[in-house]
Amino acid sequence: MASSKLSPCLIFLQIIFLVFVFNSANAQLKVGFYKDTCPKAEAIVKEVMDQVMKVAPSLSGPLLRMHFHDCFVRGCEGSVLLNSSTGQAEKDSPPNLSLRGYQVIDRVKTALEKECPGVVSCADILAIVARDVTVATMGPFWEVETGRRDGRVSTFSEPLTNLPPFFANISQLISMFRSKGLSVKDLVVLSGGHTIGTSHCSSFSSRLYNSTGKDGTDPTLDSEYIEKLKNKCKVGDQTTLVEMDPGSVRTFDNSYYTLVAKRRGLFQSDAALLDNSETKAYVKLQSAATHRSTFFKDFGVSMINMGRVEVLTGKAGEIRKVCSKVN
């Protein structure tokens, strides 16, 4: 008798579960998500970004990295954009202090809200902007999947444990990428994003002054390159910016791999790509390429893969009206 009384309840729960599974399966990212609700969305983003890149091309690297930093912490749900009155948000955490361009994201959001109020998420804006700055620096175009929703939580501590540090070895890098559902190939391909942008001396100075080689230098870093870097970065320098891909800082190309192959990758995490057979083979392949080889196509594929990490879709999260604060 007791079991027969519970049957309707169990049936109800099963129905609820099936509805949930159905909605989850259909609330996925897709190209053209805003086709009906905001058909001009990507054109509006591109218009704003074309204006920005004309006057501030140096923001291309930081804006590309912003999408990466967002996706690796809580997934691609815009939490890196949130402010905290007490300085305890992701953007306040040490790994994110070098990010720039938040005002650009706000500018894009304002334009989109004017056209389609409450429709386009901040998380999707980050993904589209990352593609557009890549194209603006003569890099590849890829179709951006959209339909992400924005998260409501942003904490100081999570970037410290989720973002691959610049001093990571290859085992750490592979483990951190795999924890996000990304492959070893995604790791070496997305590292190629270092072809644009700059870095503060403090991010690699330990390789110049506090390592295991002669005079405290890193034996895995080319000696001539060490001297050039020392001329720019003195001990304790916290402010000087250095090009990650010298001579190609504003051009998206495969020259990053040529530098890594010559032991001139700026970060320890760049040099680590030579410590694994798969990543080393890809570095060698791209460094030997007379033209773009497969890198441009690979980069688009890996950016799409990264853009799927732990996304909020369907009814999860929200669509923020202002990217720096929850509704």
Residue 64: partners with Cβ closer than 8 Å, 6 or more residues away: 130, 133, 134, 193, 196, 197
pTM score, whole prediction: 0.90
Write the CB contacts of 157 (distance below 8 Å, at least 6 apart in sequence).
93
Per-domain residue ranges of the chain: 30-162, 170-302
Q: Is 200 a catalytic residue?
A: no
Contact 207, 181 (CB under 8 A): no
SS3 of 76, please? Answer: coil
The enclosing H or E element of 30 equals strand 30-31
Token output for 24: 């989850």
Res 21 pLDDT > 50: no
The confidence band for 4, taking pLDDT boundaries of 50, 70 and 90, is very low
Which residues are documented as binding site for Ca(2+)? 70, 73, 75, 79, 90, 195, 245, 253
What is the 8-class DSSP label of residue 134?
Answer: H
Distance of CA 107 to CAs 48, 82, 208, 238, 243, Å?
A: 8, 15, 39, 29, 27
Q: How far is CA 161 from CA 74, 79, 166, 302, in A?
A: 11, 15, 13, 22
Q: Which residues are annotated as a binding site for heme b?
A: 194
* Binding residue positions for substrate: 164
Fold adopted by 170-302: Peroxidase; domain 2 (1.10.420)
pLDDT at 161: 97
- Out of 67, 69, 200, 291, which one is annotated catalytic? 69
Helix (H, G, I), strand (E, B) or coil at 14: helix
Q: Which pLDDT score is estimated for 45?
A: 98
Distance, CA of 143 to chain centre: 16
Name the E strands within 124-268. Answer: 145-146, 198-200, 241-243
Instruction: Give the single-character DSSP code of 94.
Output: G
Q: 76 with 310: CB under 8 angstroms? A: yes
The pLDDT assigned to 23 comes to 39
Q: Show Cβ contacts of residue 10 under 8 Å, excluding neighbours closer than 6 positions.
A: none
Average pLDDT, integer, range 207-236: 94
Are 318 and 152 within 8 A, CB to CB? yes
Output DSSP code: residue 116: S
Which of 22-31, 53-62, 119-128 is least confident?
A: 22-31
Amino acid of residue 5: K
* CATH number 1.20.140.10 given to 30-162: no
pLDDT at 16: 47
pLDDT at 298 (0 to 100):
97
- The tokens for 10 are 């169990």
Residue 247's pLDDT is 85
% of the chain residues with pLDDT over 70: 91
Cβ neighbours for 47, distance < 8 A, ≥ 6 positions apart? 111
The pLDDT mean for the chain works out to 92
Tell me which residue of 271, 130, 248 sits closest to 191, measured CA to CA: 271
How many other C-beta atoms are found inside a 10 Å radius of the C-beta of residue 209? 16
